[in-house]
Amino acid sequence: MWYLALHIFTVYGAYGCVMTSSDQKVNAGTDVHLSCNFFQCPGHQDFISLSAEWEFQTITQTKIILYYISNQTVSTLPGVYFHGNVKTGSFDIYLPSVTHENNGTYLCRLRLSGRFFKNHTHLIVQSALTRRNSPGGIHPQARPPWWLALVSVPGFVLLIGSGFLARRACRSIQKGDDSKQNMEEVKTRAATEDMGITFKKRKNGKRH
């Protein structure tokens, strides 16, 4: 029994020494970088016994997409690239322009001196349309609130009414100015005529 317990501890006891990226939710077409750091694992510099692999898991399939062994890194799936440095404890991968086919769980697993260490991360790829329709997303066809329409109608009527009244006031002022000007012209004309009549009378008086 103690041997079994020791074996379980040996295989899974250092589970926390492998650090992977947190779960990610991205839009389709985004470039994704998934990290796997194992520099805290005991014996990680033993490159002779070190082997590592990335495993891709979905509901329907499980397959190795990239592995490292005998100082060589091999990708088994197009569009998956090694992006790390094993000598520094980094076994990252790079996924350019992800699609919905990249949805799933990515498991990073190491084998060091007969012991296994692993950790995983979940990747969710969604379309831009799904993101806009999600809560808090952008709704391009959203209508303005009903109260805005009620406020805008009286405001428009008030604006039109103010313009009409201002126009009438300007016309009234202009008419008043015209009337005043006409009165001045009449007075001036009458004064001129009176002066003419007076001049004629004086002239006729001198002749007699």
β-bridge pairing 115-126 and 24-27:
parallel
Using pLDDT thresholds of 50, 70 and 90, give the confidence band for residue 70. confident
Choice among 86-90, 109-113, 190-194 with the minimum mean pLDDT: 190-194
Q: Quick one: pLDDT at residue 48?
A: 81
Indicate whether 151 pLDDT > 90: no
Q: Which CATH code for domain 11-133?
A: 2.60.40.10
- Residue 153 reports pLDDT greater than 80: no
Q: Which residue type does 80 have?
A: V
Tokens 């004064």 correspond to what residue? 191
Helix (H) or strand (E) holding 52: strand 51-57
DSSP lists the bridge partners of residue 111 as 51, 116
Q: Tokens for 9, please give them.
A: 């501890």
- Separation CA 110–CA 120 (nearest Å): 12
pLDDT level of residue 112 (50, 70, 90 thresholds)? confident
Domain boundaries, the chain: 11-133, 146-201
**Triad 117, 119, 124: Cα angle to 5°:** 160
Assign 154 to helix, strand or coil. helix
Q: Is the pLDDT of residue 140 over 60?
A: no
Q: Has this prediction a pTM greater than 0.75? A: no
Asked whether residue 91 carries a pLDDT value surpassing 60, the answer given is yes
